[in-house]
Amino acid sequence: TPENDVHAAEAKWQAYWSEHGTFLAGGAEDTRPRKYVLAMFPYPSGDLHMGHAENYLYSDIVARFWRHRGYNVLHPIGWDSFGLPAENAAIQRGTDPREWTYANIAQQRESLKRYGVSFDWSRVLHTSDDDYYRWNQWLFLQLHERGLAYRKESPVNWCPNDQTVLANEQVVDGRCERCGAVVVKKKLTQWYFRITDYADRLLDDLNQLEGFWPHKVLQMQRNWIGRSVGADIDFEIEGRAEKVTVFSTRPDTLHGATFMVVAPDSDLAAELAAGASPEVRTAFQDYLEQVRAQTDIERQATDRPKTGVFLDRFAINPVNGERLPIWAADYVLADYGHGAVMAVPAHDQRDLDFAIRFDLPVRVVVDTSASVTGAIPVIDVDDDGVPIDPAPADDPKTTGVALAGDGRLVNSGALDGLSKRHAIARVVESLEAAGSGRAAKQYRLRDWLISRQRFWGTPIPMVHTEDGRVVPVPAEQLPVRLPAAEGLDLKPKGTSPLGAATEWVTTTDPETGAAALRDPDTMDTFVDSSWYFLRFLSPGNADVAFDGRDADRWAPVDAYIGGVEHAILHLLYARFITKVLFDLGKVDFTEPFSSLINQGMVILDGAKMSKSKGNLVLFSDELASHGADALRVALAFAGPVEDDKDWKDVSTTGAQKFLARALRIAGEVSSPTDVLWADGDVALRRVTHRLLADAPTLVEQTKFNVVVARLMELVNAIRKTIDTGAGADDPAVREAAEVTAMVLDLFAPHTAEEMWEALGYQPSVGLVTWRAADPTLLVEEKVTAVVQIDGKVRATLEVSAKIDGPSLERLARDDERVARALGDREITRAIVRAPKVVSFSTK
C-alpha cells in the first residue's frame, strides 16, 4: 500500500541520517557562518501533541533552510524534565517520578525521530540529570555570592492544592497556573532571586528586540515589569516619630490631597490602629479579617464598591501643612510602592469613588479644560463672532468622573498656571530641597521566588548550621544529588518531602564540620530552563556549565520558536539570567534570543484540544495513518505560523496526494543529470526560478504556507509540461523537479530524499546548496495590448502578460493618446480582454 511505502521511506531515511550524522552541527574547525535555531524544549508529560508537531516543524523548516543557504546550523533538543506532573503521577501510582519521566522522554524521543526533525541528537540534555542540575546549583551559588539569591520572610502565593509556593508569574487571575486552584497568601521564609535589580535593563533592552520579537510579547513583558515614574513623598504623622512615605505618579496634585489611605494588611496600618481608640481598633480588626477572607481575585476586581475604616489618625501635607485623615482601605495594596497613598480624589478615580462613598472633600488642582500646548490660546466663537468662555471642567464630585488628563494647575500656590509636566518637575525640586521627597520609580515586577516544597526538582545547595547560619555547599561538592524517592512520602503537605529523607538531609557544616541540615526545598523549574540554551553548546562538559568559546561561537540563539504561553515567565527569566551571566563575564551578549517566533495553537472546531474534552487529535495516530511528511506539509500549509489553526482545515489527505504527485514526477524525469537546463522550456523555467528567488524572503518572514502553495504551483506546472507540453525529457522538467526536491526538503524531508534519489543523486538533499535564481528568467513576460475607440486602434501598450482586466482598463484610460483621441466624448462602454484588448465605445 502507499502507506507502507511512506513508512518504509521514513525508516530508511531516518536510519540514513542517524548513521551519517547528517544534521550534526559542525565543530570549531567548520568555517561556514553559524546559525543557532532552537525550539522550546518539551516537558515530558505523555506523548507529544499537535502543539509540539507545529513547534518542531517550524524550527525544522528554519534549520533546514539555513543549511541549504550554506550555514553551519545547530538545532538541538532536550527535555525540561523536572516538575510537578511527574511528581503527581508518581504519587498516584506509588512510583518514583524518575520512572514516569524517563519513560515519557523515551516515547517523545521516538515520536520526534519519526517526525523526521533534523535535530543534532548528539547534544540531548535532560534537566533532571545530575550532570545538568549540578549547574543549576552552580548558578545558584554564583547568584548567592553576589547577593542576588537571598532568603526573606514574606507573604507568598500558596497553592493549597499543590501545597507549594508559586512565583507571581505562576499566578494567573488569582489561580494556580498549573491546577487552577485559588491561590492564598502564606507567610514563609523562602529563597528569592533579585530580578528587580535588573528591572530597568530588562525593560530598556526590549527596545533592541523590536522588529525581531512579536510586538505583543514585548508589550506583555513591558507591562509585567510595569515601571512607573513619579516621586516618593514623606508625610509627618501626628503622634508618630517617623514619617510615612507614599509613592505617587502625580506629585503635581499634592495640593489636591485630601486624605491618606494605607493598605489594611500592612504593618503600618496595624501600627496606626494600635495607637488609636479601642473602638477604632475593633473596627480595624473586623475590617482586616474581612479583607483577609477575600481572595486576590475578589480584591482586584475594579467594579466593587469601596470599603474602608477611618483610623482616627492624621498626616500633614508637606506643601501646605493641612491635616489629612488617614483611612485603611483594601484598594491600596500592601506590596506595591510603600503600601500607602496620598489620595487625590479630584484626579484619581479610585480615590474619587472612595471620597464619594465616605463623603470626603474633593479639591480640583488641575484645570483639565485649559490648553497646555502653547502661548496662543484657541478661542471658540459663537455664530455672532462673540468669544465663548471655555467651559469649566465638570466638578468630579457631581459627575463621579475623576479628571485624569493634563491641564493647568490651579489652587496650588506657586504651581498655578504650570502644565502637569512642569508642575511635577517643580514639586519634586522643592520637596527635595525641603528634604521631604524625591524622584522615584516603582515596578510591578517582584523578586523571583524560587523555593518549592516539592521533591522532583534541583536541591537548593545550602546548609543550615546548628548555630543558625545558612551557608553554601562548596562548589567542589556539587552536585547535591536527589535521594531515591523510595520510602519518601511525596504527598503535598506544605513542607518539602526531602526534609523527611533523614540520611540525605543530615550533613555537616562545610566550615566547622559540626552537624547541619540541608535546605530541603527544590528550585522552581524555571531556573532549569533559564539557561538551557547555553548547555546545548557544551554538551557533557564536566568542568563548566558551558564553555565561553562555544558561547562565543553559537550564542545568542538566532531563531527561537515556541508557544506564546511563555511570553512572560520563561522568556523573562532567561533574559534575566543572561544578563547576570553577562555581568559575571561568562557571555558577551545581553539578550539570549535574537529573534522569536510564536506559533498559534492547533484547535478543533474553534476550541482548545484537551484530553478532558475528548477532542484530542493524537500526534502518534496522525503519524501512523498519514506519515510524517503529510502531517508536516498539512500543518505548514494550514495557515500563517502565528495564527491558530483549526484541525478541520489541516488536510493530511490533500498533503498526501500532493506528495505522491511530486514523487511520481521525479520518477518520470527522463533526461540525464547533466542536461543543459538553459535548453529547457522557458515558461516552466520561469516558475522554477521565481520560486528560487522568492522562497528565501518568504521563509525569513515565516510565510511557510505561501512557500508550500508555491511548491504546489510548481508541481502543477511540471505536470502540465510533461503531459501537454515539452515532455518528460525536457531539461526544464529535470531542473524544476530538482528544485522541488530541494525546497520540499524544508517540509517533507523523506519525500524530498526519495525524489533526490530518483533523480539520480546521492543523499542527502538536506545538504544541497540553494540554487541561485537566474535574473533573466525573473523579468516579467510582456505583451502588446491594443486600445480601440469606437473600433479604431488609438494606442498600443506594453503590459505584463499577467495583467488583470481592471488594471489594464485603468492604464488605457490614463493613456495620453487615448485622452487626446477621446476629446470631450464620454466613454459609455468598455470591453476589456486582458492582456490583449481594451475597446471603448462613446456617445
Binding residues, by number, are 611
DSSP 560-579: EEEEGGGTTHHHHHHHHHHH
Least spacing, CB of residue 352 vs ligand ANZ, in Å: 9
Separation CA 446–CA 312 (nearest Å)? 32
Asked if 341 touches ligand ANZ (CB under 6 A), the answer is yes
* CB contact at 8 A, 45 and 104: yes
Asked if 541 touches ligand ANZ (CB under 6 A), the answer is no
Interacting span for ligand ANZ (CB under 6 A) from 78-86, 336-344, 406-414, 722-730: 336-344
Among 105, 272, 344, 733, binds ligand ANZ (CB under 6 A): 344
Binding mask 144-173 for ligand ANZ (x = CB under 6 A): ------------------------------
Least spacing, CB of residue 298 vs ligand ANZ, in Å: 16
Among 107, 196, 249, 430, binds ligand ANZ (CB under 6 A): 249
Which residues are CB-neighbours of 244 under 8 A, at least 6 positions away?
Answer: 234, 235, 237, 260, 262, 268, 315, 338, 340
Asked if 101 touches ligand ANZ (CB under 6 A), the answer is no
Among 247, 533, 747, 756, binds ligand ANZ (CB under 6 A): 247
Least spacing, CB of residue 191 vs ligand ANZ, in Å: 25
Asked if 333 touches ligand ANZ (CB under 6 A), the answer is yes
User: Could you tell me the three cell numbers for 820?
Assistant: 487626446
Cβ proximity to ligand ANZ: between 22 and 228 the closer is: 228
Asked if 336 touches ligand ANZ (CB under 6 A), the answer is yes
Separation CA 807–CA 801 (nearest Å)? 12
Interacting span for ligand ANZ (CB under 6 A) from 335-343, 604-612, 658-666, 823-831: 335-343
Cβ proximity to ligand ANZ: between 394 and 547 the closer is: 394
According to DSSP, the residues that pair with 22 across neighbouring strands are: none
3-class secondary-structure state, position 247: strand
* CB contact at 8 A, 491 and 91: yes
* CB contact at 8 A, 661 and 722: no
Among 107, 154, 228, 590, binds ligand ANZ (CB under 6 A): 228
Least spacing, CB of residue 247 vs ligand ANZ, in Å: 5
Among 10, 120, 330, 348, binds ligand ANZ (CB under 6 A): 348
Asked if 138 touches ligand ANZ (CB under 6 A), the answer is no
Interacting span for ligand ANZ (CB under 6 A) from 289-297, 341-349, 458-466, 474-482: 341-349
Compute φ and ψ for 218, nearest 5 degrees. Answer: -60, -45
Interacting span for ligand ANZ (CB under 6 A) from 342-350, 383-391, 482-490, 589-597: 342-350
Amino acid (1-letter code) at residue 670: S
Closest CA to 420 of 558, 249, 609, 556: 249
Asked if 337 touches ligand ANZ (CB under 6 A), the answer is yes
Interacting span for ligand ANZ (CB under 6 A) from 26-34, 249-257, 508-516, 831-839: 249-257
Kind plus residue range of the DSSP H or E element containing 186: strand 184-193
Asked if 449 touches ligand ANZ (CB under 6 A), the answer is no
Q: Is the peptide bond before 479 cis (omega within 30 degrees of 0)?
A: yes
Separation CA 838–CA 811 (nearest Å)? 10
Cβ proximity to ligand ANZ: between 8 and 229 the closer is: 229
Tabulate helix, strand, coil % of the chain (nearest 5).
40, 20, 40
* CB contact at 8 A, 287 and 295: no
Interacting span for ligand ANZ (CB under 6 A) from 103-111, 246-254, 295-303, 823-831: 246-254
548-577 binders of ligand ANZ (CB under 6 A): none
Compute φ and ψ for 443, nearest 5 degrees. Answer: -125, 150
Asked if 437 touches ligand ANZ (CB under 6 A), the answer is no
Asked if 753 touches ligand ANZ (CB under 6 A), the answer is no
Asked if 339 touches ligand ANZ (CB under 6 A), the answer is yes
CB-based burial of residue 331 (10 Å sphere; 0-12 exposed, 13-18 middle, 19+ buried)?
buried
| Cα-based distances in Å from 86 to 174, 283, 556 | 24, 48, 31
Least spacing, CB of residue 364 vs ligand ANZ, in Å: 11
Interacting span for ligand ANZ (CB under 6 A) from 36-44, 333-341, 454-462, 642-650: 333-341
Interacting span for ligand ANZ (CB under 6 A) from 242-250, 428-436, 498-506, 558-566: 242-250
Considering only CA atoms, give the Rg of the chain. Answer: 35
Cβ proximity to ligand ANZ: between 228 and 807 the closer is: 228
Which residues are CB-neighbours of 619 under 8 A, at least 6 positions away?
Answer: 47, 48, 49, 50, 52, 53, 111
Asked if 521 touches ligand ANZ (CB under 6 A), the answer is no
Cβ proximity to ligand ANZ: between 413 and 823 the closer is: 413
User: Could you tell me the three cell numbers for 342?
Assistant: 496620598
According to DSSP, the residues that pair with 788 across neighbouring strands are: 793, 839
Cβ proximity to ligand ANZ: between 256 and 731 the closer is: 256
Cβ proximity to ligand ANZ: between 250 and 710 the closer is: 250
Least spacing, CB of residue 401 vs ligand ANZ, in Å: 13
* CB contact at 8 A, 338 and 246: yes
Cβ proximity to ligand ANZ: between 36 and 331 the closer is: 331
Among 168, 442, 453, 656, binds ligand ANZ (CB under 6 A): 442
Cβ proximity to ligand ANZ: between 347 and 685 the closer is: 347
Least spacing, CB of residue 435 vs ligand ANZ, in Å: 20
Least spacing, CB of residue 337 vs ligand ANZ, in Å: 3
Asked if 715 touches ligand ANZ (CB under 6 A), the answer is no
Asked if 258 touches ligand ANZ (CB under 6 A), the answer is no
Least spacing, CB of residue 311 vs ligand ANZ, in Å: 16
* CB contact at 8 A, 654 and 743: no
* CB contact at 8 A, 699 and 641: no
Separation CA 263–CA 122 (nearest Å)? 55
User: Could you tell me the three cell numbers for 697?
Assistant: 524572503
* CB contact at 8 A, 821 and 786: no
Interacting span for ligand ANZ (CB under 6 A) from 19-27, 293-301, 332-340, 506-514: 332-340
User: Could you tell me the three cell numbers for 784?
Assistant: 502588446
Separation CA 320–CA 365 (nearest Å)? 13
Residue position matching grid coordinates 546545548: 536
CB-based burial of residue 358 (10 Å sphere; 0-12 exposed, 13-18 middle, 19+ buried)?
middle
Among 347, 454, 575, 710, binds ligand ANZ (CB under 6 A): 347
Cβ proximity to ligand ANZ: between 108 and 253 the closer is: 253
Asked if 367 touches ligand ANZ (CB under 6 A), the answer is no
Among 62, 206, 276, 332, binds ligand ANZ (CB under 6 A): 332
Interacting span for ligand ANZ (CB under 6 A) from 43-51, 330-338, 454-462, 580-588: 330-338
Amino acid (1-letter code) at residue 174: G
- Count residues binding ligand ANZ (CB under 6 A): 18
User: Could you tell me the three cell numbers for 758?
Assistant: 530518483
DSSP code of 381?
B
| Max Cα distance, the chain (Å) | 111
Cβ proximity to ligand ANZ: between 171 and 404 the closer is: 404
Asked if 253 touches ligand ANZ (CB under 6 A), the answer is yes
Q: Which residue ranges are tagged as binding site for ATP? A: 611
* CB contact at 8 A, 676 and 750: no
Amino acid (1-letter code) at residue 546: F
Which residues are CB-neighbours of 468 under 8 A, at least 6 positions away?
Answer: none
The binding site for ligand ANZ (CB under 6 A) comprises: 228, 247-250, 253, 263, 332-333, 336-337, 339, 341-342, 344, 347-348, 442
